[in-house]
Amino acid sequence: MATFLYRLGRFSFRRRHVIALFWVALLALAGVGAAGAPAAGPTSFSIPGTEAQKAFDLLEERFPGASADGATGRVVFKAPAGEKMTDAENKAIVQKTVEELSGGSEVARVTDPYEGGGVSQDGTIAYTSVSYKVSGLELEESSRDALEGAAEDARDAGLTVEIGGDALQAVPHTGAAEVIGIGVAAVVLVITFGSLLAAGMPLLTAIIGVGIGVGTITALAGTLELDSTTPILATMIGLAVGIDYALFVVSRYRAELAEGREREEAAGRAAGTAGSAVVFAGLTVVIALVGLAVVNIPLLTKMGVAAAATVAIAVVIALTLVPALLGYAGRRVRPTGEKSGLLGGRSEKDGNERKPQRPNMGTRWASFVVRRPVAVLLLGVVGLGAAAVPAASLELGLPDDGSQPTSTTQRRAYDLMSEGFGPGFNGPLVVVVDAEGSDDPQAVFQRTSDDIKALDDVVAVAPAAPNKAGDTATITVVPESKPSSVATEDLVHGIRDAGRDITADTGADVLVTGATAMNIDVSQKLNDALVPYLILVVGLAFLLLIVVFRSILVPLKAALGFLLSVLAALGAVVAVFQWGWLSGLMNVEQTGPVMSMMPIFMVGVVFGLAMDYEVFLVTRMREAYVHGEQPSQAVVTGFRHGARVVTAAAVIMIAVFSGFIGSSESMVKMIGFGLAIAVLFDAFVVRMAIVPAVLALLGKKAWWLPKWLDRVLPNVDVEGEGLRTEDDRKDEDRALARA
């Protein structure tokens, strides 16, 4: 592989005009496609294999035209102090609002609070539900404007009015913090390279890669029914890895220049060595993201594949466009240790004599760890173990209006409903009774209602509403507890247990659906998929790393270290988003269960990103070891060449991910924080402390591989052994003799 990438790097350096034109054309094509693409249609959030989805599909079949998947809006009214919603004047305002809402072309039906039990017992709060023919993402702006306009008219008349439901669902935004993250990345790159030009290359190539990836995603969003958060997550991951991969190649190029190589040769060797590490690091990220398909949630699968495609683009750009840009830059990109004139560096014309350089920070740190491996290992493991403690209290759920900021009308509507009717009214359950095979459907409907009324945590059970054929009915159940509570989850399981008894006695199917039941089923499905996903992703990556490092213990250590950093990161997420620690700093207005997708998504993404540092740092150690250095000295050599770059890459990733904490979408905010803290733990504790400590303790055993396995495995030559010339070998022999 190293030889092929070496040739590719040299080709890209020589044919830079062709390579640059190709990527610019691809970026333009993606931009034109995104600009001309029709607006994305509705996103189908289906969860195959769950009871809630089965019930939803049954509703579509047995209640045609009911718009079961349509958007809903809930307009909640509160009377002024000392008044009631049943007062004639307030009642007239509400009825006028209902009349206004009924006139929309996309409106399926609007309930009257005074006829459907929509007034609270104390008479101070009332609500009307608006059902639409299309989903929230498909809803036209005119319908949203009409909904908000009707509510505003009622406010002007003197009532407190708020709007809940998904009718006001909007595409999330990330805010200015994302730009700040890129700014931090730029500063770190300038400090790392000591050159504005060299620092600009990783940023430029990463932006081009993300532009191509996100442009393509936008162009295909309507066709593939991609979620609105998919391009944001692709941007988050693509930007981080794109900068990192280009950083690795540019850094190795400058190191090759410092060893006296010609620029074209240096570009080829950078692509052959650092490029090999980039390929395998990218493969681990792609495996982790594509592996999300095992969860069998189409939305999550599409997000993973889209992000994986952006990562693949970043890898190819690092191997081709980066060498091409290095060709354009010429002598303006200087060898390692030289700064540009703009930053106070010396010109090559200032003289050939160089002052002897003192050991850099990476060398000093690695030397310390090699001398005190046990102490460093214990401190790192105990520290991450302490951070992981909150993960034992992890509670999973999906966000609802109750998790929205208090500044939003959705959250205020949620609170008004809780005040007037109880928290359970914000998440009613829909029980679907399929009595097609029963002799007496009406008796089955009645028994189901009676059995549900006998359960705990039930506030109200609406009469059964059968379809025209009379063989299927829906029963609306209002829990006493809020939608995301454990009590409501227990109620869903209780209804399903009662339904199994009814099925055994009558042959009718009793299914529970609705947004709350769907959230519960999603959480359970994600929990069930976590272990198989871990086995698949970690297992495949473990095999890949055996090929890269030609070792058993090094990949095993990499996987265990990753699990430790992920657990610590989950503990931090629980502490902030569930317990409320530092919630003000993170702008988390409402604590609650951690998003169901968070653990499995974090496992997938962080594993891939953690392997970036593992591959880049440890391949340098492996390279030194196979070239004749002792194991402990190889650790120090790896840090001397790689610690600065890995540190810069980690700081950049943390900055980029932290930028997404400012998102208006709670899922993006939580993922941004989780990934940032996970990179912090993994890069600076696991890879910078635990890894060298373990390798120092293992010595030569770290690189042990059974002879039979060594013969079977393909030789991918990540260390670039095939690129070494006879002069290189003589230089290394002399260096080892001096040592």
Cα pseudo-dihedral 709, 710, 711, 715, rounded to 10: 130
Positive or negative torsion for Cα 499, 500, 506, 512: positive
Kindly state the average pLDDT of the residues 49-58.
86
Whether the predicted pLDDT of 159 surpasses 80: yes
**Chain-wide mean pLDDT for the chain?**
83
Most confident of 328-342, 419-433, 589-603: 419-433
For residue 412 the two structure tokens come to: 């205020």
Predicted local distance difference test score (pLDDT) of residue 352: 43
Q: What is the pLDDT of residues 514-529, one digit of tens each?
A: 888 888 888 888 888 8
pLDDT number for residue 586:
73
Average pLDDT over residues 427-456: 90
Span 646-661, pLDDT tens digits = 888 888 888 878 877 8
- What CA–CA distance (Å, rounded) separates 166 from 578? 24
Task: Please give the share of the chain, as a percent, with pLDDT higher than 70.
Answer: 88
Q: Residue 322 and residue 249: Cα distance in Å, rounded?
A: 8
Per-range mean pLDDT, top range of 56-60, 655-659, 727-731: 56-60
pLDDT in tens, 565-594: 989 999 999 998 888 888 777 777 667 778
Contacts for 332 with CB less than 8 Å, ≥ 6 apart: 195, 197, 340
CATH of 1-36+178-337, one of 1.10.1380.10, 3.40.50.410, 1.20.1640.10, 1.20.140.10: 1.20.1640.10
Residue 463 is classified by DSSP as: P
Do 1-36+178-337 and 428-513 fold alike per CATH?
no
pLDDT digits (tens, 9 = 90+) for 209-221: 999 988 888 887 7
Asked if 458 and 449 count as a contact pair (C-beta separation under 8 A), the reply is no
User: DSSP secondary structure string, 145-170?
Assistant: HHHHHHHHHHHHTT-EEEEESSTT--
65-165: CATH number: 3.30.70.100
| Mean local confidence (pLDDT), 185-196 | 78
Cα 623-270-11 angle, rounded to 5 deg? 135
What percentage of the chain carries pLDDT values higher than 90? Answer: 30
Of 1.10.760.10, 1.20.1640.10, 3.30.1360.230, 2.40.128.50, the CATH number of 360-407+530-722 is: 1.20.1640.10
The domain over range 428-513 is classified in CATH as 3.30.70.100: yes
Amino acid at 56: F
pLDDT at 41: 47
**Long-range contacts made by residues 84-89, C-beta under 8 angstroms, separation at least 24?**
84/122, 84/123, 84/124, 85/113, 85/119, 85/120, 85/123, 85/124, 85/125, 85/126, 86/114, 86/119, 86/123
**Model pLDDT for residues 376-397, shown as the tens digit of each residue:** 999 999 999 999 999 988 887 7
Domain ranges of the chain: 1-36+178-337, 65-165, 360-407+530-722, 428-513
pLDDT in tens, 250-278: 988 988 888 888 999 999 999 988 888 88
**Model pLDDT, residue 718:** 64
Whether pLDDT at 720 is above 70: no
pLDDT at 642 (0 to 100): 80
Query: What's the pLDDT at 132?
Result: 84
Q: What is the pLDDT of residues 102-112, one digit of tens each?
A: 887 888 888 88
State the pLDDT confidence band at 372, using cuts at 50, 70 and 90. Answer: very high
The CA-based diameter of the chain, rounded to the nearest angstrom, is 100
Per-residue pLDDT, 719: 60
Residues 735, 728: Cα–Cα separation, whole Å: 11
